[in-house]
Structures are given as structure tokens and as C-alpha cells.
A and B are shown apart, each in its own frame.
Chain A
Amino acid sequence: MPKLPNPMPIATDDEVALDPADYARAEINASLKPKQKIGFLREMIRIRRFEQTSLKYYNQGVMGGFLHLYIGQEAVAVGTVSLLGKNDHVITAYRDHGHALAVGMGMNECMAELFGKATGCSRGKGGSMHFFAPDKNYWGGHGIVGGQTPLGLGLAYGLKYKGLKGCALCFMGDGAVNQGAYHESLNLAALWKLPVVYIIENNKYSMGTTLERSSAMRNCLAERADGYGIVWDIANGEDLYEVRAKTASAMRRAHDQSLPTVLEVDTYRYYGHSVADANAKKYRSPEEIERYKNHHDPIRLWKKRLIDEGVLTEADADAIDEAAKEEADTAAQFAIDSDTPAPETIFEDVYWEVDNKTEAGSTGKHFFSE
């Protein structure tokens, strides 16, 4: 077990305190080419621009439901997903746009899903919280807090059953650690030695509830894994190098030893829980948010790092940002121009056997509407 980490309080300092271990020198990072490093910046900026554009349209009232923005947490999805191999899988909760774009889903299909259009990644049937791309090993997008934690375990079980060397990265929020299904999953993961990595994106709040008001264990959340004999670690989510280094060692544990890991990543969200967050100004101060934006922003820090390393110029970064903005605008136009799903599609995608017109799908009555 790692030694008890320092507590992970809300940042009060203006200094960026990157770990002295300097994860840039970790093997997994030392081998990175400048092009890859710039690629990570591009991915993070794309996520941010995509969401800012979606927010603009959400505020115009053209979308339904919730919109949980990932802005501020981008280094977590981009850093972890950058490590995926052919047999590595991803599953997450409802704050899922970042992971979706990071695994390679297109802005068009994602934006169209938000608009509820037929061209959406789920044909307009999932919405913001339910993006899926199994062809990219991306299994959603799950709306019930903690509900995806046994599913992530199942992906790991399936890999092991088939004898494939891979793992499942199962993302969850700091609030989800309080769900029973997660604890059942941890016990099963340890008991059956399943290659799953639970990544707790600790953004300090579950809706309006702080950790102090939700978790009995004060040091950190990953520590609960001790109760199951599972190796755990914490990572600074502002530092893409550290996220990659610590995720890589968890994935190695999964690949080489078929063992689970719990990795808690310290991060922060700038927007409300969802866009509609009535108490956004009550449970935290505008100063706190500003402090994170100005001093702990993963994109800003990564950009600075690349400039310091001499692999990027301000002008390069501006060009990447411009391109991402344009891509997001194009996606919004694509969504606007797309058709609404046809009413008869309501009854599609319910049963595989019906959709595939098999004998089983045409035996007996499957739907009971007139």
C-alpha cells in the first residue's frame, strides 16, 4: 500500500505544486514525441471548446435535460485514454463528453446527440449522459451514480474470461464512492483478481455536497480500497504527466498481474454540477473557482509546460484553439441541420432480436402500444 497521502483539500494557494517526483521523467512520458504531447493539448482544447459551444446552445434552450460539463477535468480523460491499447476499455458516469471525445468519438455525432437528432451517436436516444462507442471500446455514459461500477468489473471479467490481456478503466465521481454497488465491485475485483482500474475523479463536490459532508474517511477516498486489499494511489489531475504515469502503473498491474487498482485523481470542475445548478454560488465561492482557473487549469499548465520544453509556441497553441472552435461550430451546425429521429424509431433498439428480424424477434408480441 502507498503511504498515507497528504489530504486533498480545496486548493488555497496560488502556487502550482506539481509533485517533486517530476513525472515528465517517468518512462511512459520520457518516450513521448513532441507531436504526441501537442496532440494531448489538442484533445484537451477540443473537449473544452466542444463543451463551451454546447453550453451556448443549451442556454438558447435547444437541448433537453441535463448538461454536465467536464471543463476543468480534461487532463484526466486525455491523460488516461492516451494509454489505451487494443484490449483496454473505458466506461464512465454521466459527465461523459470528455471521455467520449478522448476515445475518438466525433464532435458531430456527440453534438447531434445533445440536440436529440437522428445523427447523434445514440440516434437521439441517450442524450448528454449516455454516449457510447463500443467500436472504440467506450461503453458509456451512465446516468445512475455508481451504476457503472459493476459494469466496468464485467468488462474486466469478460477480458479475463476470453484470455485477453487488457483492462477496464472505470471512471466515477467522488460522490459515487458512497454507493454500495462500488463496494461490492471492489470486493469482487480483489476476490477474483480482475483487471479493472477504478478512477475516482475527485472534483471536490457531488452536486453541492463537499467531501467533508459526504465521506467518513477524511484523508482521501481511494484509501477505502485498503478495506479490500486493493492497491490504491492518488494523482494530481492538473498534471497530465502524473496522470499518465500513475494510470500506466495501474494498467501494468492489470495487464501483468490481473489485479485491480483504485486511482483517485485530484481535479476540479468550473461549471455547476449540471448547467442548471441552482445553488452553484452557495456551496463554493467565485474566488475558489477563479483560483482554480488561474492557477490550476490543466490546459493552461500543459501549454506552459510544452512552451517551456520548447515543443510549442503561443502561435501553435492559438492555431489549435482556433481549429477546435471551428470544429465545434461546424458540429453545432451539423446538429442543427440534422433531422429529428422519425417517430417509428421509438420502437427500434429495444430488442436485438426484433431489430434483426430473427424468428425470436417475430415470435410473440414485444410491444404493447396501439
Chain B
Amino acid sequence: MPLITYRKALNDALAEEITRDENVVIIGEEVAQYNGAYKVTEGLWQRFGDKRVVDAPISEAGFIGMGIGASMLGIRPVMELMFWSFAYVAWDQIINNAGQVRYMSGGLINCPIVIRGPANGGTSVGATHSHTPENFIANTPGLKVVCPATAYDAKGLMKSAIRDNDPVCVMENTLLYGESWEVPEEEYLIPLGVADIKREGTDVSLIAHGRAVITALKAAEILAAEHDIHAEVLDLRSIRPLDEEAILNTVRKTHRAVLVDENKPFCGVSAQIAATIQEKAFDDLDAPVQRVCALDAPAIYSPVLENLQLPTVSRIIEKVLQIR
């Protein structure tokens, strides 16, 4: 299988879906002539032209709302946010319009829109550019949200998101765009709502999503090599819908869970996972559920400190050792 980058995997997914469905259109800032601020849409404008790949002015509320309106008529816009951190100026459109219109119309209207872009800390761009709003989106019934951790997942999830008939938010990661993974050449889809065991283990479950999966995998390696602890790493991949069965299964297998989450702890994704485990697998637990989240302050600029603020391998190992 060829090794391709997370960025290229997304690019391939977009190209394949534009080719497959004439209603798919990419809209966003710098997505066409500039090739994408993070080059995810590189070459697509040259290949597919003005109608299918559209540069928008810096008007997130305007163009995201426009995409939602167009999706009500059956267009399938894939909207790029240069950063998910900029979603807040379009928040009303995303939450109130994309998220609620199906419900408030008693099911008469639906919005097959995808909103995508990077949502991560760790790049020293300060608090305004480092948000991870997957918990906010997941807190909104009517919206779906996925956070791929590998190139393989990014491609498969993006293609499913575009074909989905509900609004799907895809949260990517600038630190992963340049990383490579094996991706098959033949077409495949990854359904939303299916988690993936990225490493089998027996002693403790590390449950994560997005780049936290990569951090958890590194921790698992050290735990095995230095402490003879065999951690299972479960990648949620999709936050809403959520693969609750996979979460419960891994906890029933290892009886210990450490949740690794680049979201903040208070009402973050890990809070929901912890609640689920204590509600449904309490008797299977041999230790309290532990969490390793982003430290609970705005994302700090200072590169050294920011690396400490996000979940680190050593914090994960420390938590595992506490409940071994």
C-alpha cells in the first residue's frame, strides 16, 4: 500500500467526490487559486474549475450560511474553515441553521453540508487559533462531528461525510497534515460512528480521538517496553455519532480506562466518555476512570509550555501507573 500524507488523503477524497457527484462544490477562503491555506485543496481548482472550487471572501457567517441555504436545495457544499477557531463568527449559522432546521421543520428540510478544517492546538498560534470545538458541536443534536487521526481515516471519513445527508463537521489537524500512513489505492469508505482499535492490549484502555490517538500510541509503546503494561488504544474517530459499544468493549476487556483528549476537561469529550463508562461498565472497572486532557486554561503561545498544556506521553504514563 502506498504511503500518503493526511493532507493528500483528504485531497484525494475531495477530488473523488467532486468527480462522483456533480452537486459537490468546495467553498472557502483561499481554497482555489491559492491552493488552500494548508494545501488540502491543492490542484483541485486547476482540475475542476471555477464552478466546483470557489474562493470566498473572509465572511464565514456569510458563506457558511450560504452553503447551508444551498444544501437545503440539494447542493452538497464542502465548506473549508481555514481554522475551526474561526467557526465562532459563523456559529449562529452552524448551530441554529444547519443544526436545527431539520428539527424545526418537522423533518421537511435537511442540510447535506460538510464543514471542514483544522481544529488543534500545538502550533504556537495562541488561544484564538487553537480551539478544538468538537465538544460544542457534539453537544448539538442535529450535527455530526468526526476527528480523524490518520490519513486512512481522514480519507474514508471525509468521503462518508460528503455522502451523508446530515450536516457533518470534519475536524482535521495541522500537525498531522504532513504525516504519512498507508492508504489503499482502491476506493473505501469509513462509516461515521465506528471506532477503531489502533493497538490491541489487555491491561488498560487508552481512549482518544484526533492527534491524541498518536500521543496515546507513543505512550502505549513505552508502557509495553518499560513497564510491561499492555495498553489498548481505541481511536473514537467519530464523536457524534459515537461508537459506544467499542468503548464499553475495551473497558470490559482491560477493566481500566485512561481517556486522552486535547479538548479541555470541563464538559469536554472525555467527560461524556467517562459518564458513559461509569453508567454502563461500572462493575467492570478495577480502578476509577482517569483523564489526560488539555490543561484547563486558554491555549498558551509559549511553544515549550503549549507542549505541556496538551496531553503528553509522560502524563499518560503517569496516569496509567497510578491505576495499574
Residue positions of A touching B, CB distance < 8 A: 91, 120-126, 130, 132-135, 139-144, 147, 149-159, 161-162, 168, 180-181, 184-185, 187-188, 191, 348-353, 355-356, 358-360, 363-368, 370
Interface 1/0 per residue, B137-155 and A, CB below 8 Å: 0000110100000000000
Report the separation of the CA atoms of residues A366 and B110 in the bound assembly, to the nearest whole angstrom.
16
Report the separation of the CA atoms of residues A351 and B167 in the bound assembly, to the nearest whole angstrom.
9
Knowing A181-B92, A353-B164, the reply to whether A122 touches B68 (Cβ < 8 A) is no
Report the separation of the CA atoms of residues A184 and B89 in the bound assembly, to the nearest whole angstrom.
11
User: Quick check: A363 and B106 within 8 Å, CB to CB?
Assistant: no
Report the separation of the CA atoms of residues A367 and B240 in the bound assembly, to the nearest whole angstrom.
9
User: Quick check: A147 and B194 within 8 Å, CB to CB?
Assistant: no
Report the separation of the CA atoms of residues A149 and B112 in the bound assembly, to the nearest whole angstrom.
19
Pick from B57, B67, B243: contact of A187, CB under 8 Å: B57
**B103 proximal to A (CB < 8 A):** yes
Residue positions of B touching A, CB distance < 8 A: 25, 51, 56-57, 59, 61-75, 92-93, 96-97, 101-110, 112, 141-142, 144, 160, 164-166, 191-194, 238, 240-244, 272, 279
How close is A225's CB to chain B, nearest CB, in angstroms?
Answer: 15
User: Quick check: A364 and B72 within 8 Å, CB to CB?
Assistant: no
- A134 contacts across to B, CB distance below 8 A: 72, 105, 108-109
How close is B243's CB to chain A, nearest CB, in angstroms?
Answer: 5
User: Quick check: A181 and B103 within 8 Å, CB to CB?
Assistant: no
> Which of chain A's residues has its CB closest to B89's CB?
A180
Pick from B63, B166, B242: contact of A188, CB under 8 Å: B63
Report the separation of the CA atoms of residues A152 and B244 in the bound assembly, to the nearest whole angstrom.
38
User: Quick check: B166 and A352 within 8 Å, CB to CB?
Assistant: yes
User: Quick check: A352 and B165 within 8 Å, CB to CB?
Assistant: yes
User: Quick check: A155 and B241 within 8 Å, CB to CB?
Assistant: no
Knowing A126-B106, A184-B61, A351-B142, the reply to whether A154 touches B71 (Cβ < 8 A) is yes
Report the separation of the CA atoms of residues A370 and B280 in the bound assembly, to the nearest whole angstrom.
11
> Which of chain A's residues has its CB closest to B52's CB?
A161
User: Quick check: A181 and B62 within 8 Å, CB to CB?
Assistant: yes
> Which of chain B's residues has its CB closest to A355's CB?
B107
User: Quick check: A360 and B102 within 8 Å, CB to CB?
Assistant: no
> Which of chain A's residues has its CB closest to B240's CB?
A366
Report the separation of the CA atoms of residues A189 and B266 in the bound assembly, to the nearest whole angstrom.
41
How close is B68's CB to chain A, nearest CB, in angstroms?
Answer: 6
Knowing A184-B59, A188-B62, A350-B103, the reply to whether A147 touches B243 (Cβ < 8 A) is no
- A161 contacts across to B, CB distance below 8 A: 25, 51, 70, 75
User: Quick check: B241 and A122 within 8 Å, CB to CB?
Assistant: no
User: Quick check: B241 and A364 within 8 Å, CB to CB?
Assistant: yes
Knowing A154-B68, A188-B63, the reply to whether A181 touches B93 (Cβ < 8 A) is yes
How close is B64's CB to chain A, nearest CB, in angstroms?
Answer: 7
Pick from A133, A149, A359, A367: contact of B141, CB under 8 Å: A367
- B279 contacts across to A, CB distance below 8 A: 370
Q: Could you list 10 A-B pairs, sorted by A, with CB under 8 Å?
A: A125-B103, A134-B109, A140-B104, A141-B104, A154-B69, A158-B74, A168-B69, A348-B107, A360-B165, A364-B191
